[in-house]
Structure formats: C-alpha cells, structure tokens
Structure 1
Amino acid sequence: MATEKLRAWADPIWQEIFRHPFVVEVYRGSLPMDKFRYYLLQDYNYLVNFTKALSLAAARAPSVELMKTALELAYGTVTGEMANYEALLREAGLTLKDAEGAEPNFVNVSYMSYLLSVCSLEGFYQCMAALLPCFWSYAEIAQRHRDALERNPVPLYRRWASVYLTPEYNALVEKLRALLDSSGAPPEALWPYFRQASIYELKFWQAAYEGH
C-alpha cells in the first residue's frame, strides 16, 4: 500500500515528533500552560488555513465523489474541530478574539503557504498526500502516549488529546489512507509532499515549544 510505504519512509521524522519535548510534556501533564496557550492560538490559525487548503483540493478532485470527500473534510474541520477549539480556548482562559488576532509564527506561515500552494497548483492526490501527515501523526502520537495520558493530571490536556484516540478520528485517518491507496498513484510521486508536510509537523511542535 502506498501509505504504508510513505509512513515507513517518514519514520525517522515521525520518531522525532513522538519524542519531541512539547509532545511528551503535554501528554504527561508537565507542559507549562503558557506554551499550550501559545500552541492553541497558532493551531487555531492553522486550522483556518487548513480548511482553505481542503476547499482548494475539492476544486481539483477528479470525480464528484472525491470532491464531496474533500468538502466534507473542510466542513468537519470548520464546524466540529474549530468548535472544539473554541471550547479549549475558553478553558485555557483565551477568547476567539485572541485567536483571530494572534500573529502566526514563521513556521505556521511557511507550512500553510506550502499546503495552499500544493492544493492550488498540484494534483488532487498530491494535495491529499500533503494533508495526510497532520491527521495521521496526531493519531499515532495519541496511541504512542496513551499510557502517559491516562495519568495526566491536567484536565485540559486530557480533553485536548483524547479527541485523537476516538474511533471517529481514527476512522477519518483510515478513510484518507484508503483514498490515497486506491488512487493508483505510485508512492514515489506522493513522497515529496508527504515528507515535506511531516517535516513541517515537526517544526510546528518546535515553534510551539519555543514560543516563536
């Protein structure tokens, strides 16, 4: 399967993500709250642009069915996930106005510019290969750190992370993987996009940890 190969090739990058201090500390409950607040503000901005990228992908879909899939993902992100983020912001002592007014950091701008560019100029499956690491890596992070999460003393961190362990979220990841696997696209053609997005995922965690 194409996605199995992509995941195997990206494993050195993903292993760095799994052991990144932000990831480890947020799942253990030892991450300073100011770092998590900064992450929430940045990630909210990311989700806004991620939705735009999915909408662009829909316009490049080779079939009506695939167009519907991309639009459903965009709708789910802008309604479900962003609504969840609004609740998380409130619990963290932040407002939607704070999130909308937050300046995206350099990595955030670079990552979003990359996704928007791919989804505007490349093919549908290349776009989906670039979007998949975000969905998939969060699911694997949650699985890797499940035991730590069970002992996590911070309710906000537990609530945030538990979303990525739900059957619904993991079914979404599997749906995206199946979409790419059924495309017939050789993994070599998808790899540059999957790799670059994986690198950006790692850099996003680092920028959140450093606060800039």
Structure 2
Amino acid sequence: MERWSDRAWEAALPVYEKILEHPFVRALADGSLPEERFRFYIRQDALYLDGYARRLAHVAARLPHKEQAESFLHFALDGIEVERALHAQFLGGNHPAQEEISPTCLLYTSVLDAQALAPVEVEAAAVLPCFVVYQRVGESILARVNDVRGHAAPLHENPYRAWIETYADPAFAASTQRALEICDQLAAAAGDETRQRMTELFVRCTRMEWLFWDSAWNLETWKI
C-alpha cells in the first residue's frame, strides 16, 4: 500500500528539484557561498528554530500515542542541541535579536504557528519538510562533493563542512525516517480531507524552504 509520505513527496518533488538548483544551495555545495550570505542564513535559521522547537513540542503534546509523543520531544531536544552547536560555530554564540527577523522567516514561522489549531495530523505534516528537505539536501550535497566527476572542492576544504555533515549524518536520517513513520501512521487513521490538508501543508512548507534559501541569497530586507 502506498504511504501518505510517498504521495506527499511526489507532490513536493518539483519544488525540491528547484531547491537543488538554487544558487545558494549550489554555492553551499561547492564552498563558494559568500560568508555574508551564509551568515544571513544562519542568523535567520537561529530565529526560525526558536519557534520550531516549540512547534515540535506542541505536536508532541497532541499526539495520540506515548511513543509518538516521546519521539517528537526527542526531536525538539536533539534539534536544539545540534543547532546550538552549529550556531556557536558559525555565529560565535551571538544569537540574533528578534527584531532582525526577515519577511520570509516571519512568514514561515507564521505558517507553522497557524497550524496550532489545525488537526494534529496537519500540524505534524507542516513541520515535516524541515526534516525531509534538509536530510535530502544534505545527502545530495555530500554525494556531489564526493563525486570525483564534479567540480566541488573536497569536503575538508569546504568552509560549510559542519553544516553539510550535520544534515547528511545517518543520525539525522534516522530522525527523519521516524518523523515520516509517525506522519504515515497519522495519515492512515485520518480521513481523506485531513490527508489532503496534510499534503497541502507539506508542499506549502517545502516552498517555504525554497523561499528561506532565496531570502538569504538575496540578503532580504524589509522594504519599508
């Protein structure tokens, strides 16, 4: 039987392919990404993750089974620790102020926050792209770097090696797989309308991931 996550990924695949083609991701892979753009990205990421961890904990509190709730609580705690290490390395512990939030970061966090009153299945689907897209992008970049036919610098020479290794790590893949399993369990017990809303939010938040990198590439600012 086809899983909900397979259908959702198929729906989001055109967006994911655009993500891989984005100049930010391509420059991240070959190590040529200007530091200014990466610092913009990582500062916005720190602001995004302040809310994302709370969203994971909120999903955990709503899940119907103890094992599912425990997994989402672990995601929240593990994510905080992993991201804290990345931000300490790239930001020197200088956490950005909330007033720095970009239009895109505010939009993405608002989309997630808006699902707090939606069915838990929909809220869980909305947070899923941050697992799936990052895992697949990390693994894709690592494969590109390791491909001797490519033009990327060796991984040990890439200034963003720690970021690449974090999201290409088997431990992150295991967390992603567990999040997918839980969403598939939720979808299997839900009605057709709820499953459709889950897919819509999964695709919408995958688009948000594209926008997030595009925002960093363009050093997005508020127009007024």
Q: TM-score, normalising length from structure 2?
A: 0.85
Equivalent in the alignment of 1:182 = 185
Question: Equivalent residues in 2 for 1:77-88 (5 A)?
Answer: 77-88=79-90
Equivalent in the alignment of 2:47 = 45
Between the aligned partners of 1:67 and 1:132, the Cα distance in structure 2 is 15
Contact 2:86 2:162 in 1 (8 A): no
- Pick from 138, 141, 144 the counterpart of residue 142 of structure 1: 138
1:135-178 Cα deviation digits (max 9, x unpaired): 11111112222244344364431121111111101001111111
Equivalent in the alignment of 2:149 = none
Percent identity between the two aligned chains: 27
Q: CA deviation at 1:68?
A: 1.8
1:165-202 Cα deviation digits (max 9, x unpaired): 11101001111111112221354241111011011111
Q: CA deviation at 1:100?
A: 3.7
Equivalent in the alignment of 1:200 = 208
Letter in 2 for 1:105: S
Question: Equivalent residues in 2 for 1:112-123 (5 A)?
Answer: 112-118=109-115, 120-123=116-119
Structure 2, gaps ≥5 residues long = 147-151
Q: CA deviation at 1:37?
A: 0.8
Q: CA deviation at 1:101?
A: 5.7
Aligned residues: 206
**C-alpha spacing 1:110/1:207, structure 2 compared with 1 (3 Å):** same
Equivalent in the alignment of 2:7 = 5
| Structure 2 residue 63 is the aligned partner of structure 1 residue 61 | yes
Contact 1:42 1:105 in 2 (8 A): yes
Contact 2:31 2:159 in 1 (8 A): no
Contact 2:47 2:98 in 1 (8 A): no
Q: CA deviation at 1:82?
A: 2.0
Between the aligned partners of 1:169 and 1:147, the Cα distance in structure 2 is 16
Specify the SS of the correspondent of 1:177: helix
Contact 1:51 1:78 in 2 (8 A): yes
Between the aligned partners of 2:110 and 2:197, the Cα distance in structure 1 is 21
**C-alpha spacing 1:16/1:100, structure 2 compared with 1 (3 Å):** same
Structure with the greater alpha carbon radius of gyration: 2
Equivalent in the alignment of 1:28 = 30
Contact 1:3 1:180 in 2 (8 A): yes
Between the aligned partners of 1:143 and 1:75, the Cα distance in structure 2 is 23
Q: TM-score, normalising length from structure 1?
A: 0.90
Larger mean Cα displacement after TM superposition, 121-130 or 18-27: 121-130
Between the aligned partners of 1:147 and 1:102, the Cα distance in structure 2 is 37
Specify the SS of the correspondent of 1:145: helix
Letter in 2 for 1:104: I
Letter in 2 for 1:156: P
Q: What value does the CA root-mean-square deviation take over the aligned residues?
A: 1.8
Q: CA deviation at 1:102?
A: 6.0
Specify the SS of the correspondent of 2:33: coil
Specify the SS of the correspondent of 2:177: helix
Specify the SS of the correspondent of 1:4: helix
Q: Which runs of 4+ in 1 moved over 6 A?
A: none
Q: CA deviation at 1:87?
A: 2.1
